[in-house]
């Protein structure tokens, strides 16, 4: 209706003898009409360009591919898992995350999580010094080979995500006598015990993702915290399916996992993966989650890295102090409190294990 009114020619009286000669004002009126129409067309075209990506954004459910026959639930007899067959698992593919993964493991121990701490690390990419730091707080490191992006997709993957497919090795933890596992990214901090996840009746569970940009709260999950049942059969199936699955290659292993478990993943509450983007988008929701928050995920700021794009060296204490200060002031200081949380655990870790960590060479 708006466009019809805009484009409809207005009714005009027949000119009287006095008005046969157009006034300058009327000339200017006729002169601007074509330009006004052109402006409307341009504006509508721009709006179409903006709206098109939103309408066509990839969704693994809209683009569902039946590539996973794993049951949603585990057998009732397998639900209760003794602590000796549970594992908290992370991953280390760079020396720059050695301190971060040590803090993550230390925080899990402080929360009395009853499980082993297993740390697959990328062979030939992590130094003995970094492994020594991880061992100091209780991690059990073991080497794994690189899993490269499939089908030559590496050119589409962000440089810092190119090694993330190696995370899939965690599904082979049954070979290390693990029946139930919780994966946590190195940039997480455990605030409270989450032992209930080890006895989940589901084969795979994760928390919905949250973005600070216009994508907002998503139906897909974030791969920073995963509760799963290890299975070498599933691992082998993943390695086969990742070569034929169709999903945005830039999303790396998180994109593949969202497709592989599309429709069968159980969505955990945000308390299990409290992405900082939640606070950025909804401080009210963040406050609601705080009393029960299990794991906070430092996605938007890294209190242990001054420059996330160049994270290949173990930082000194002075460099970590600089990173903490930088993170506290980032994004107008909105995450200052959460940076203080990480710093407090880091300080406690250094007070308890600093003498061991400083001997790592």
Mind listing the domains of the chain with CATH numbers?
78-357 (3.90.550.10)
- 29 has pLDDT over 60: no
Q: What confidence category does residue 154 fall into, taking pLDDT thresholds of 50, 70 and 90?
A: low
Q: What is the dihedral of CA 164, 166, 171, 173, to 10 degrees?
A: -130
- What confidence tens digit (pLDDT) does each residue in 274-285 have? 999 999 999 999
Contact 102, 133 (CB under 8 A): yes
Burial code (b: 16+ CB inside 10 Å, e: under 16) for 241-262 equals bbeebebbbebbbbbbbbbbbb
Listed ranges 33-37, 178-182, 309-313; the one with the highest mean pLDDT: 178-182
- What confidence tens digit (pLDDT) does each residue in 31-67 have? 545 555 555 555 565 554 544 444 457 889 998 999 9
CA dist list (Å): 115 to 73, 85, 193, 348: 22, 7, 11, 21
Q: What is the Cα–Cα distance from 341 to 347, expressed in whole angstroms?
A: 10
With tokens 């290949």, the residue in question is 312
Q: How many CB atoms lie within 10 A of CB 145?
A: 10
pTM of the model: 0.83
In total, the chain counts a number of residues equal to 361
Q: Which residues share a beta bridge with 221?
A: 208
Q: Which helix (H) or strand (E) holds 208?
A: strand 204-210
- What confidence tens digit (pLDDT) does each residue in 312-327 have? 899 999 999 999 999 9
Largest CA-CA distance found in the chain, in angstroms, rounded: 103
CB within 8 Å of 355: residues ≥ 6 apart: none
Q: Given this model, what pLDDT does residue 9 score?
A: 41
Per DSSP bridges, beta strands 217-228 and 266-267 are unpaired
Q: What confidence category does residue 77 fall into, taking pLDDT thresholds of 50, 70 and 90?
A: confident
In the three-class reduction of DSSP (H, G, I as helix; E, B as strand; rest coil), residue 272 is classed as: helix
For the four alpha carbons of 288, 290, 291 and 297, in that order, the dihedral sign comes to positive
Lowest mean pLDDT among 4-13, 92-101, 102-111, 273-282: 4-13
Lowest mean pLDDT among 17-21, 96-100, 343-347: 17-21
- 3 has pLDDT over 60: no
**Residue 74 CB burial class (10 angstroms; 0-12, 13-18, ≥19):** middle
In the three-class reduction of DSSP (H, G, I as helix; E, B as strand; rest coil), residue 92 is classed as: strand
């Amino acid at each position: 209706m708006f466009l019809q009114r805009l484009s409809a020619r207005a009714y005009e009286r027949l000119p009287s003898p006095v008005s046969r000669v157009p006034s300058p004002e009327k000339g200017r009126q006729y002169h601007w009409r074509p330009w006004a129409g052109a402006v409307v067309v341009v504006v509508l075209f721009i709006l179409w360009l903006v709206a098109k990506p939103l309408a066509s954004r990839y969704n693994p459910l809209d683009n569902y591919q039946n590539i996973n026959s794993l049951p949603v639930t585990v057998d009732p007899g397998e639900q209760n898992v003794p602590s000796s067959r549970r594992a908290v698992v992370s991953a280390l593919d760079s020396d720059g995350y050695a301190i971060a993964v040590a803090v993550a493991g230390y925080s899990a121990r402080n929360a009395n999580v009853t499980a082993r701490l297993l740390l697959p690390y990328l062979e030939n990419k992590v130094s003995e010094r970094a492994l020594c730091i991880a061992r100091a707080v209780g991690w059990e490191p073991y080497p794994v080979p690189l899993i490269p992006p499939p089908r030559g997709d590496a050119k589409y993957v962000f440089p810092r995500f190119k090694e993330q497919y190696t995370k899939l090795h965690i599904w082979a933890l049954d070979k290390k006598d693990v029946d139930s596992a919780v994966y946590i990214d190195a940039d997480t901090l455990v605030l409270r015990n989450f032992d209930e996840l080890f006895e989940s009746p589901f084969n795979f569970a994760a928390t919905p993702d949250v973005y600070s940009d216009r994508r907002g709260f998503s139906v897909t999950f974030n791969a920073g915290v995963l509760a799963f049942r290890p299975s070498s059969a599933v691992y082998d199936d993943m390695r086969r399916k990742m070569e034929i699955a169709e999903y945005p290659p830039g999303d790396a292993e998180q994109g593949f996992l969202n497709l592989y478990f599309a429709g069968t993943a159980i969505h955990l509450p945000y308390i299990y993966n409290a992405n900082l983007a939640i606070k950025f988008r909804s401080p009210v929701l963040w406050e609601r989650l705080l009393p029960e928050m299990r794991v906070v995920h430092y996605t938007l700021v890294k209190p242990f890295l001054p420059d996330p794009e160049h994270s290949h060296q173990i930082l000194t204490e002075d460099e970590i102090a600089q990173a903490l200060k930088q993170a506290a002031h980032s994004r107008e200081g909105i995450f200052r409190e959460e940076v203080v949380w990480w710093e407090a655990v880091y300080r406690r870790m250094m007070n308890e294990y600093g003498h061991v960590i400083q001997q790592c060479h």
